[in-house]
Amino acid sequence: MRAGIGRNEGLLLAMVAAIPCLFLSACQEAGSSSPDTAIPLGPTPPAAHAATADPIAITTVEEIVPSMRFKYGETPANNWHTKWARERHGIDFKVLWSADSQNEAYVTKLRLSLDADEPLPDTFHVYDKMFAGELIEAGKLLDITEEFERYASPRMKELYAKYPEVWYPVTYNGRKYGLPVLTAGDEQDTLMFIRRDWLDKLGLEPPATIEELENVMDAFVNEDPDGNGLKDTIGMSAGIKDSVSSVVGDASWLFGSYGDALPDQWILTDDGTLQYGSLQPNAKQALSKYAEWLRKGYLDPEIALMDGVMAADAFTRGKSGIYFGAFWSGGWPLGDVKTNVPGAEVMAYPLPSGPNGQIARKATPLSLGLILFNKDFAHMDRILQYYDDLYGFVFSGETDVLRFGFAEGYDYALVNGEPVYDDDRIPGGKIEAQKVILSNEEPNIPFKQTKIYYDLYHGKKPESFYEKYLSGAGPEILQAGAVNYEMMNYSVRDRFIGAPTPAMKERHEYLRSLENDTFTRIIYGNAPLEQFDDFVRKWKSSGGDVITREVNDWYRTVNPEMRRE
């Protein structure tokens, strides 16, 4: 998770999608499964019909993510999606194996297959751009340049043409070696979540500045907001085990309170060159502030041992009052706080500004996942028709395929012929049906979803089925989505969105470890703040200068204008 994206962003996007069903239940771990075709399936998927083309078998593999849940005894190899693809498109997806997303087990298994020179599945999905680059260089992947032009629908071509930069990670020598999966454009951008009931109890207002945030955290630590008579609460939960940057439990937002340079991404400087954000002076200021907060007890003392999901535990147990993460974080991973703490109220707020009124947050890449194809794959026509059908629901009303959602009885139910999206009206509850499709998430149109959330929260009556689907997220997600939309202008895009450079491939792990170790030691007070300057020098001399040169060589060849609607 992670890479032009943050280090762990891709995996976390797999773990949790910015769609309404996220908040409905705690994510349920799913173990690896073997292919299984002898179990009953749930309701017939919408618009299923006999395929007009001869049936074909397409092999794939499945990444099991924490938010993937199954109904009706289904498995990764046999579910509503495999049935729908078979009946509508004549595609018989054969899931060769599945592996957990945790601890990179899925990518590790793919790497082992590559190292053993085993044949790759016909098609599969990855978030790891580094691994995709290795496959391209090894000659393992299909060049889809002509196939996309020949078989992609007009609306898909138009959409991808609007955001041509999404092709960069899979473009080599002007040829395309994979299909980028478009994101919603801002579903990973960070917001601030606060226990509103704690604020009210202590007579506090939501903090709008870092100074006000410190006052709130101090009260949350020292004024017994949970009313149990003990000093057992903390101000803010975050996780920096793998990086200060995360989709949930994020700590990178504070860097943006002191400047536009954000860690683990490349910024455009005044001299027109790209520079690595983690090296900039504002990073030193943020680290100093985190060290101060840890000394004062505002942060969990175990922050270095926790990722963002683990950090959420203190919040959901009612022992932490503030959390930073994507707009859907109020549903997962924070949703259990209401079950655990009667009367708990969580609301999303804009990020607090720094001393100079500065606010900056990492922007979600326009593409995270990649659908890759074995070099011998011969059915791009079917795959692109299949993928266009999946787009139909997001385009809203342009097709009768997947008009109401992804699968009846999974993410919606029909009542008197009309779709309903409430959890308690779907037999067995709502699940994220899109998790099992080939791209692991629904296709998206960047920035369409966030505007809908904003409009719905401010009273717009949902008209299209897609708007009704999003409205089913409920008031909390709509409120956070509206705040997210209001903060769009504070999102800073990573300027390097190409395939990993040669030096990155060679030095990435070492430099990542160097950065994590230095930042953690400074935050814990085990190294003086001046150690940051030593880190900058060592990063540059240990391959960083070469990476910077390669990144700028790439930037001069593309120099894309980051697009936003």
Residue 492 lies in a domain: no
Buried b (16+ CB within 10 A) or exposed e, 389-427: bbbbbbbbeebebbbbbbbbbbbbbeeeeebebeeeebe
How many alpha carbons fall within 13 Å on the CB side of residue 445? 19
Residue 159 pLDDT > 80: yes
Residue 3 lies in a domain: no
Residue 397 lies in a domain: yes
Residue percentage of the chain with pLDDT more than 70 = 89
The three-state secondary structure class of 300 is coil
H runs (alpha helix) in 31-182: 80-89, 105-115, 129-137, 145-151, 154-162
pLDDT in tens, 322-359: 999 999 999 989 999 999 999 999 999 999 999 999 99
What is residue 402's predicted lDDT score, i.e. its pLDDT? 83
Average pLDDT over residues 436-461: 93
Residue 554 lies in a domain: yes
Whether residue 170 sits in one domain with residue 28? yes
Average pLDDT over residues 356-369: 95
What is residue 320's predicted lDDT score, i.e. its pLDDT? 98
Greater confidence, 345 or 423?
345
Domain end (from 400, 435, 457): 457
What is residue 53's predicted lDDT score, i.e. its pLDDT? 65
Domain end (from 424, 457, 490): 457
Whether residue 235 sits in one domain with residue 351? yes
Q: Which band of pLDDT confidence, cut at 50, 70 and 90, is reported for residue 25?
A: very low
Average pLDDT over residues 258-267: 96
Q: Please name which of 370, 384, 390, 376 lies closest in space to residue 122, comparing C-alpha atoms.
A: 376
Q: Which band of pLDDT confidence, cut at 50, 70 and 90, is reported for residue 66?
A: confident
Bridge pairing between strands 266-268 and 320-325: unpaired
What is residue 65's predicted lDDT score, i.e. its pLDDT? 83
Residue 272 lies in a domain: yes
CA dihedral sign, ordered 12, 13, 14, 16: positive
Average pLDDT over residues 310-321: 96
Q: Which residue has the tokens 């299984």?
A: 36
Average pLDDT over residues 79-99: 94
Whether residue 225 sits in one domain with residue 168? no
- Taking phi over 0 as left and psi of -120 to 50 as alpha, with beta for the rest, 88 belongs to alpha
How large is the angle between the packed helices 129-137 and 502-523, nearest 10 degrees?
A: 160
Structure tokens at 409: 């009885």
Greater confidence, 10 or 163?
163
Q: Give dist(CA 459, CA 303) in Å, integer.
A: 40
Whether residue 32 sits in one domain with residue 179? yes
The three-state secondary structure class of 481 is helix
β-bridge mates for residue 346, sequence order = 195
What domain count does the chain have? 2
Cα 256 to its chain centre, rounded Å, is 19
Q: Is 358:256 a contact under the CB 8 Å cutoff?
A: yes
What pTM did the predictor assign?
Answer: 0.87
Whether residue 248 sits in one domain with residue 175? no
Structure tokens at 428: 């067995």
Whether residue 396 sits in one domain with residue 373? yes
Whether residue 213 sits in one domain with residue 131? no
Say which CATH number the domain at 524 has: 3.40.190.10
Average pLDDT over residues 70-85: 94
- The three state secondary structure string of 96-107 is EEEEECHHHHHH
Whether residue 420 sits in one domain with residue 329? no
How large is the angle between the packed helices 129-137 and 105-115, nearest 10 degrees?
A: 10
Residues 6+ apart with CB under 8 A from 304: 240, 241, 520, 523, 524
Average pLDDT over residues 227-253: 95
Structure tokens at 426: 């779907």
The parent domain of residue 417 ranges over 9-186+366-457
Q: Is 184:263 a contact under the CB 8 Å cutoff?
A: no
Whether residue 319 sits in one domain with residue 231? yes
Whether residue 447 sits in one domain with residue 339? no
User: E strands of 222-334, at which residues?
Assistant: 234-237, 266-268, 274-276, 320-325
Whether residue 314 sits in one domain with residue 396? no
Residue 470 lies in a domain: no
Whether residue 384 sits in one domain with residue 284? no
Q: What is the DSSP letter of 340?
A: H
Mean pLDDT of the chain: 88
Residue 392 lies in a domain: yes
Residue 354 lies in a domain: yes
pLDDT in tens, 92-150: 999 999 998 877 899 999 988 888 888 899 999 999 998 999 899 889 999 999 999 99
Domain end (from 396, 426, 457): 457
Average pLDDT over residues 363-387: 95
CA dihedral sign, ordered 87, 34, 30, 16: negative
What is residue 562's predicted lDDT score, i.e. its pLDDT? 39
Q: Return the biggest CA–CA distance within the chain.
A: 70
**Angle 500-381-56 from CA coordinates, rounded to 5°:** 110
pLDDT in tens, 207-222: 999 999 999 999 999 9
Buried b (16+ CB within 10 A) or exposed e, 447-461: bbbbebbbbbbeeee
